[in-house]
């Protein structure tokens, strides 16, 4: 009898396992639409793990969901911060897990979406116990950055940890600074440190990736950038020029327009650089995802139907 009760309890525990459905893929591939379609189908809500869409002043340059899209499904972590604020990946992990706990109280499933690879990793796997920033290292690296620019930091990181260099957002100086600082402190590769196993989550994750031929990805990126310009990206960036040194603004789409506004580049060249740097970021995303073994890929041409069929196979 005791054994029967124990087995029944275990079955109950298994039956209440919650599921996080994480929608991933390169920039511009259609993640937002698929996430909304799945969330509506399941009657649930969406957590964004796009590290640039957190900031309310950066709607156009981050291709944040439109007001119409936001009205279709309840979203979290979209426009919830100001670009004046510093927000770490560690804080996001804490906040996202807290929100997930709340959502799982009323939903069996929750959808997460975003192309910020480390932010997704923070939620589904957890961050490693890395050392705090070393002031002396940070000052030295800041000096190198201002003297030699991003290229100086890139050369250092590439020499220290080529694996991480190939996947990191190379246009984000803070990511470069952090990785180099940790390597200097620990004497270990950053890529090795962040790949160490973490404590298991109390929910299961199903990762759905949207795939497309590279030429399609690049076409979509180019079209998206053109639309951003049409929608007023230059005016958006102009309104943020006083914050151009802030971490949130050290990103593709903003750094290039800042150079145009400061007279360093003409607009056509700035736009071409946004497209080029966006394609480079997509390439790094592909490199990252290729190394992952638990992604279920669906075609960009039929992503909703394939994703729902996949979830049905999982009993969702």
Cβ contact 181:133 at 8 Å: yes
Q: How far apart are CA 204 and CA 316, in angstroms?
A: 12
On whether 115 is known to bind a ligand per the annotation, the reply is no
Cβ contact 198:128 at 8 Å: yes
| Encoded tokens for 133 | 């920033």
On whether 66 is known to bind a ligand per the annotation, the reply is no
Tallying the residues shown for the chain, one arrives at 316
Q: How far apart are CA 163 and CA 192, in angstroms?
A: 9
On whether 32 is known to bind a ligand per the annotation, the reply is yes
DSSP label of 201: P
On whether 26 is known to bind a ligand per the annotation, the reply is yes
Cβ contact 23:304 at 8 Å: no
Q: How far apart are CA 31 and CA 26, in angstroms?
A: 8
Instruction: Using alpha carbons only, give the angle 304, 118, 140 rounded to the nearest 5 degrees.
Output: 155
Q: How far apart are CA 141 and CA 240, in angstroms?
A: 25
On whether 27 is known to bind a ligand per the annotation, the reply is yes
Cβ contact 183:160 at 8 Å: yes
Cβ contact 103:48 at 8 Å: no
- Give the residue ranges of DSSP H helices in the chain: 2-15, 31-42, 67-72, 89-104, 117-124, 135-160, 162-167, 173-186, 190-193, 214-231, 233-238, 255-261, 267-290, 303-313
On whether 209 is known to bind a ligand per the annotation, the reply is no
Q: How far apart are CA 121 and CA 242, in angstroms?
A: 32
CB atoms within 10 A of CB 243: 16
Could you tell me which residues are annotated as the binding site for ATP? 25-32
Could you tell me which residues are annotated as the binding site? 25-32
Could you tell me which residues are annotated as the binding site for substrate? 27-32
């Amino acid at each position: 009898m005791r054994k029967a009760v124990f087995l029944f309890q275990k079955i109950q525990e298994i039956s209440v396992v919650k599921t996080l459905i994480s929608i991933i893929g390169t920039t511009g591939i259609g993640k937002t639409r698929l996430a909304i379609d799945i969330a509506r189908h399941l009657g649930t809500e969406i957590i964004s793990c796009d590290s640039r869409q957190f900031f309310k002043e950066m709607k156009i340059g981050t291709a944040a969901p439109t007001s119409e899209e936001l009205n279709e499904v309840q979203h979290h972590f979209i426009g919830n911060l100001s670009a004046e604020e510093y927000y770490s990946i560690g804080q996001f992990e804490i906040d996202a897990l807290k929100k997930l706990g709340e959502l799982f109280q009323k939903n069996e499933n929750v959808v997460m979406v975003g192309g910020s690879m480390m932010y997704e990793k923070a939620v589904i796997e957890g961050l490693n116990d890395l050392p705090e920033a070393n002031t002396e290292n940070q000052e030295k690296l800041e000096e190198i950055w201002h003297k030699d620019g991003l290229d100086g930091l890139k050369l250092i990181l590439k020499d220290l940890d080529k694996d991480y260099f190939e996947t990191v957002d190379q246009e984000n100086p803070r990511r470069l600074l952090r990785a180099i600082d940790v390597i200097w402190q620990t004497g270990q590769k950053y890529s090795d440190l962040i790949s160490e196993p973490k404590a298991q989550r109390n929910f299961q994750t199903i990762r759905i990736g949207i795939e497309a031929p590279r030429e399609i990805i690049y076409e979509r990126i180019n079209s998206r950038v053109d639309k951003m310009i049409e929608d007023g990206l230059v005016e958006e960036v102009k309104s943020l020029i006083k914050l151009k040194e802030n971490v949130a603004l050290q990103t593709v789409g903003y750094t290039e327009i800042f150079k145009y506004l400061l007279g360093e580049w003409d607009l056509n060249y700035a736009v071409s650089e946004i497209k080029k740097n966006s394609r480079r970021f997509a390439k790094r995303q592909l490199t990252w995802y290729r190394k992952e073994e638990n992604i279920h890929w669906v075609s960009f041409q039929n992503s909703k139907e394939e994703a729902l069929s996949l979830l049905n196979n999982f009993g969702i």
